[in-house]
Amino acid sequence: MKKSLFKSAFLACCLIVLAGCSSIVNQFAFYPDTQNIIPAEKLPLEVEEIFITTSDNVRLQSYYVKNPASDRILIFFHGNAGNICHRLSDILNLKNCGINVLAISYRGYGKSSGKPSEKGIYIDGASAIDYATQKLGYSLKNIIIFGRSIGTTVAVHTSQQKDIAGLILITPLTSAKAHARAQGLGFLSLLAGNAFDNLSKISNIKCPVLVVHGTDDEILPFSMGREIFDHADVEKRLVIIDGAGHNNLSQVDPEKYWGAIAEFIVKVDRLKVEGY
């Protein structure tokens, strides 16, 4: 009886610790801005603000930008700070690469309801794909998914085993644990558990992949982008921006950065033929 009680108490303590670790990881992973928001009436005319209701009833502020010349759509998942309003320039540049764009502000960011968590932003990602296919009428084969930084975890997670057109990963991480180690947290990195584990999921990707990373990334080292690229077992391309850090790839070499993305968008259907 005493052994049974001890075992139950031990398991309960383990669950409490694991729950606490998850809470800690989420606390350090997300830095949402709900104050600096562009009013809908002040958005560029080509940007339509819409709201997507997720499967767990969270409303996501989103931007839809049409490019009449394209029958494909790029779903954009941003990094861990700010909100979708801060990405307007990138969204418009992506549209000018020759594609429609649907950009999501995660739960708890901008005008979106809810509170961010790893599990929650994965639901956000799935809901964005559902909206693109069921409401906007795009087929999976005409969807390109784009993720930057922590957005790559949403992009990879939601792209698994899907016959989409392509996957673009900008400064991807391998896992939260590896990121913690890279930031010098040592044994404390173990608290991250299996959070944000891109590396174990990238082998489940079936579509062509583009990885872009800077050699001087101080947040997510270039070695992470290289490792993600090496583990992807599909047609793929790695674009290296020499001297670029985590947040300035498009400033250090805009021609190489935007050129690689535009080329991937245009040629994604012919990657196998061209040996990309």
Contact 110, 83 (CB under 8 A): yes
Count of structural domains within the chain:
1
Closest CA to 60 of 110, 112, 109, 108: 112
Half-sphere exposure of 233 (CA within 13 A, CB side): 7
Residues of the chain by 3-state class (helix, strand, coil), percent to 5 = 45, 20, 35
Position 22 scores a pLDDT of 59
Position 3 scores a pLDDT of 39
Here the CATH number for the domain that contains residue 43 is 3.40.50.1820
pLDDT tens-digit readout, 156-166? 999 999 999 99
Closest CA to 80 of 57, 59, 114, 107: 107
Q: 166 is written with which tokens?
A: 């392509």
Half-sphere exposure of 154 (CA within 13 A, CB side): 32
CB atoms within 10 A of CB 42: 7
Position 175 scores a pLDDT of 86
Asked if the model's pLDDT at residue 84 lies above 50, the reply is yes
pLDDT tens-digit readout, 235-268? 999 999 999 999 999 999 999 999 999 999 998 8
Contact 52, 114 (CB under 8 A): no
Please compute the mean of the pLDDT values over residues 45-67 and round it to a whole number. 97
Domain enclosing residue 156, as ranges: 2-274
Closest CA to 202 of 255, 129, 152: 152
Please name the residue that has the structure tokens 């418009």: 92
Phi/psi of residue 74, each to 5°? -110, 125
Q: Known catalytic residues?
A: 149, 217, 246
Asked if the model's pLDDT at residue 11 lies above 60, the reply is no
Contact 37, 111 (CB under 8 A): yes
